[in-house]
Structure 1
């Protein structure tokens, strides 16, 4: 129908291994969700989790060309975030963090806030760390 967005929207972007990349990933996600019916229902969790996954790839991953690939896919009922590390093939380790630790909570957040998440081999070489996010209830939904 004219005037309605396609049911599934996808976007991919290459990001440098830089401390600026999580912010660019958030901007990319905001642009994608702006074109998805009900996209605002993914924004809070999506921004947090895309930041975590990209930060992990930048800090812990490795790549010959010094970049990571971000692939996003959204429709009115789900958001999928994939971060491709073209060289590193070690799966991320979900571990607990002590109260005084300055890191180690990212994957716990991903596990807690996503409907599902995982790591799989990337075609050729490397790995993909991904998560799927369900939409948050719209204002007024679920109220008695």
Structure 2
């Protein structure tokens, strides 16, 4: 596994195809934001969206015996989350879940809470699903 850069602005790690991977992704994001100036401005939305993207990759887009690559970067104006998986077929579908559905809201949350998001092919095999998050307005006001 790769670690964090000395500037604590970028992080990259491989995660197993496991239901425990979203929790590990949250820990990695918390560590990155703890080391970044004003990183707390991204924490709430960042934790939610990294969980959604990693969960989708683990449950729906990563074949057995493959791993997920998580890449995080933060600067003063945005947090970028990238999740690389080994499944190249299809762009993730954003759909409205029914009231009684127990799943299916993840990408709708990503679309609603991020400034930008998308999906692109990955060199070699698979795809990258990514999002960019602006600082929380409440957190930004508190820092001023």
Fold shared by both chains (TM-score > 0.5)? yes
**In the alignment, structure 1 residue 90 sits paired with structure 2 residue 90:** yes
Q: CA deviation at 1:108?
A: 0.4
TM (norm. structure 1) is 0.88
1:27-74 deviation per Cα after TM superposition (whole angstroms, max 9, x unaligned) = 000000011111000000000000000000001012464210000000
TM (norm. structure 2) is 0.88
Paired residues, number: 137
Matches within 5 A, 1:30-45: 30-45=30-45
2:40·2:139 contact (CA, 8 Å) conserved in 1?
A: no
Q: CA deviation at 1:76?
A: 1.6
Q: CA deviation at 1:89?
A: 3.2
Q: Relative to 1, partners in 2 of residues 1:58 and 1:98: Cα closer, same or farther, differing over 3 Å?
A: same
**In the alignment, structure 1 residue 67 sits paired with structure 2 residue 67:** yes
2:17·2:65 contact (CA, 8 Å) conserved in 1?
A: no
2:13·2:71 contact (CA, 8 Å) conserved in 1?
A: yes
5+ residue gaps, structure 2:
1-5
CA distance in 2, matches of 1:34, 1:42: 10
Root mean square deviation of aligned Cα: 1.8
Match for residue 3 of structure 2? none
SS in structure 2 at match of 1:120 = strand
